Structure 1
Amino acid sequence: MRRRFFLPTAPPGAGAPLRFARDAPWLAPLAGYSDLPFRLLCRHYGAAVCVTEMVSAKGLVYRSPGTGELLQSLPGDQPLVVQLFGGEPEALGAAVTSLRAAGYAWFDCNMGCSVPKVMRQGAGAALLGDEARALACARARIAAAAPGRVGFKLRLGPDREHIVLPDLALRLEDLGAGWLTLHPRTARQGFGGSADWEAIARLAERLSIPLLASGDLLNAEDGVRCLEQTGASAVMYARGALHDPAVFAAHGALCRGERTPAADAASLRAMIGRHVRLAREHAAGDGALWKMRSLVPRYVRFLPGVRVLRQRLCRCTDWQELEAALDEFFGGAGAH
């Protein structure tokens, strides 16, 4: 059956204020992963704000099938920021206008994605190499959404020879950006090398709007250390959340001065069980099952028997088989 375009109406609470605080960690937009079930799982563990997967502005304007599915949400999934990508000001403005009409309140502009298929569209980190177009795209979004309701995800620049910060960040602030997020690597670096947290600290000193820190936050200790070293307003977990959605609970505990208990088999089984229930309830089609088969090995990567579990999961064709594989794993090697 061919999918049809639909634009879901934002649920009540979509206009709830965003939190920018040391103890208010955000969930990053994770392409292919930060769907509604995953966001609800992260919120259960303490994610203060979640960002959708990247949504194509052109996809919304031209009513591309499947685009609206990325925007599914619930009252318990608020506040929610919609991340849009695109390189054409007109399409970006039109997309934000349609989303505002549907009740969505907060938006993020991706100027940091270095994936080639995104950059070939003149979107994502490609905008870092064309300041005039980047600012035109920013003006279009802010005009459609209102000042303060749009954030911008940035990298340092296209490469080390062309660093665009802090100039671009300050221009965006002047245009009416509500907040900025910095992943302190260049587009050419991708995820290689180390994130330059000192660049976050330097930018935080120059801005009067909130700055979210991203990059190399693989656990809660990294997140809290980043806040202490950079003076950022809050942190945004990406890979750290993808490997352990309970990172948000650990982050909150550290901020309260409490010790964070190490994950054990029982807590991991409970977390995976919750994710499975959310996926079965809120995600349609077989895609949710295929996604779960790839996520579970990440969650239990430190337990013995993961390789055998991964092989068995790859053969699972329904939820019952997946649950049986989990029961066997946690009742055997995974429970030790």
Structure 2
Amino acid sequence: MTTFEITPDSPWLAPLAGYSDLPFRLLCRSHGAGVTCSEMVSVKGLSFKNSGTRRLLNTCPDDEPVVIQIFGAEPQYFPETMEKLVSMGFRNFDLNCGCAVRKVMKSGSGVALMRDVGLLVRIAGIMVEKAAQHPDGGRVGVKFRLGPEYGDETYLDLAPRLEDIGVNWVTMHPRYGKQLFRGDADWNKLRKLKDTVSIPVIASGDLYTARDGVRCIEETGVDGVMFARGAMFDPTIFDRFRALRAGREMPPLDGTLLAEVVRQHIKFTKDYEGDGRSFRKIRSIIPRYAKGLEGIRALRGRLNQCASWEDLETAASEIETMKKADRISTPVDDNCL
């Protein structure tokens, strides 16, 4: 597995529950994503050999560099699971301490882990120790929020302790756990975090467009940006970000380009998964790409009637002739971003 450099010009795809599977990672990589993250993987699920959990680890040679994001709150499960992942060839890992979904927090995982900084640091330390056993050396990051409750500035205590134990980078979504996705992400806290640690800081939160990403780097001085909801609506956001940073023009996000993106996603899904479950999943995702185009409701109806991969490709071709309306990225609050 390939390692990577963290730079402002190499945008990341965030770990998106239900979205950042292998086909979507390959799609985003083909449009300029420098680093991609897996969906978050349960340490306990891996320990008990859950088949659904193992599916999240599907990969291929073109899926590099990839970061495997894991979550859990019981340290006894981490050593064996990390050893298993390293033996499978994975060398880049991330600990999820930012998911605010209730079922994750009920287990003490996600942002709930920030309530016990000592436990969090202990778990991250196990990950650092085990990742180092990779023959080429492993790396570990931690993704977190400002704190679990409104007003908790837990990140200021947490980040230096993570740096001290050898964590290689940190990613912060500058909202509180209780805040979910309400209000605005506080980018000023990203600058404060950057001033607190010397390891790379990656920004997440309210990066809906490529321009948002460029502005975040300019305003906060972070070392990189991680696109989540922006990529879900526009997988070309990575190319657009790189073009803006380099002062280049990008083609308009019209029906022609979106139809090509959809065809690519269908192909990656068919080639690397190709089962009924993946068929139904991609069928439900396609309308997201056509958001802001006229005729989206009729397209959604036709997609629901598709019964084969060929039907999907035919329906996707209709996007090419759809006229562009005002395109608005709508926040999604059911994913761990």
**TM-score for both structures, normalised by structure 2:** 0.92
2:68 alignment partner, SS class: strand
Mapping for residues 1-336 of structure 1, pairs under 5 Å: 14=1, 16-146=2-132, 149-331=139-321, 333-334=322-323
Query: Are the aligned partners of 2:3 and 2:92 in contact in 1 as well (CA < 8 Å)?
Result: no
Checking the alignment, whether the CA contact within 8 Å between 1:90 and 1:140 is kept in structure 2 is no
| Farther-moved stretch of structure 1 (77-86 vs 61-70) | 61-70
| C-alpha distance in 1 between matches for 2:153 and 2:191 | 16
- How many correspondences in the alignment? 321
Distance 1:80 1:93 in 2: 21
Structure 2 counterpart SS, 1:118: helix
Bigger RCO (CA 8 Å, 6+ sep): 2
| Gapped regions of structure 2 (runs ≥ 5) | 326-337
CA positional deviation for 1:148: 6.6
Task: State which drifts further: 281-290 or 250-259.
Answer: 281-290
Give the C-alpha shift of residue 133 in structure 1.
1.5
User: In the TM superposition, what whole-angstrom CA distance separates every residue of 1:265-322 from its partner, at most 9, and x where no partner exists?
Assistant: 1111111111111110001421222221222111111111011111221232322222
CA distances 1:30-78 after superposition (whole Å, capped 9, x unpaired) = 1111111111110101100111001110111111112221111111111
Query: Residue 147 of structure 2 aligns to a residue in which SS?
Result: coil
Write the deviation string for residues 158-209 of structure 1: whole angstroms up to 9, x where unpaired. 1123220211111111111000000000111111110000000110111110
Separation in 2, partners of 1:214, 1:161: 19
C-alpha distance 303-18 of structure 1, shift in aligned 2 (>3 A) = same
| Partner SS for 1:153 | strand
Q: Tell me, what secondary structure is at the counterpart of 2:141?
A: strand
In the TM superposition, residue 136 of structure 1 has moved relative to its aligned partner by: 1.8
CA distance in 1 between counterparts of 2:320 and 2:278 reads: 21
Equivalent AA in structure 1 for residue 263 of structure 2: G
**Distance in 2 between residues matched to 1:52 and 1:265, nearest whole Å:** 29
Structure 2: distance between partners of 1:164 and 1:67: 30
Question: Distance between the aligned counterparts of 1:24 and 1:335, measured in 2?
Answer: 29
Structure 1: any 5+ residue segments left out of the alignment? 1-13
Q: What is the Cα deviation at residue 323 of structure 1?
A: 2.2
Shift of 1:151: 0.3
1:209-233, Cα deviation, whole Å (9 max, x unpaired): 0000000000100000000001000
**Contact 1:148–1:179 at 8 Å: present in 2 too?**
no
The offset of 1:329, in angstroms, is: 4.5
Q: Structure 1 residues 254-263 or 139-148, which shifts more?
A: 139-148
Q: Let me know the Cα RMSD of the aligned residues.
A: 1.6
- Residue 325 (structure 1) shift: 2.2
1: CA distance, partners of 2:324 / 2:103: 42
Amino acid at match of 1:169: A
- TM-score with structure 1 setting the length: 0.92
CA apart distance, 1:326: 2.4
Distance 1:318 1:154, change over 3 A: same
Q: For 1:329 and 1:233, how far apart are their aligned partners in 2?
A: 36
Q: How far off is 1:261 after superposition?
A: 2.9
Residues 159 and 188, structure 1, Cα contact 8 Å, conserved in 2: yes
Task: Find the aligned partners of 2:235 and 2:124 in 1 and give their Cα distance.
Answer: 31
Q: Which amino acid aligns with 1:198?
A: N
Given that 1:293 and 1:314 are in contact with CA atoms closer than 8 Å, whether structure 2 keeps it comes out as yes
Post-superposition Cα deviations, 1:245-268, rounded to whole Å, max 9, x if no partner, equal 000100110111113332121111
Work out the CA distance in 1 between the residues paired with 2:304 and 2:72: 35
Change (3 A) 1:194 1:144: same
Q: Specify the SS of the correspondent of 1:165.
A: helix
Query: Once the two structures are aligned, what percentage of the paired residues are identical?
Result: 45
CA contact (8 A) 2:210 2:238 kept: yes
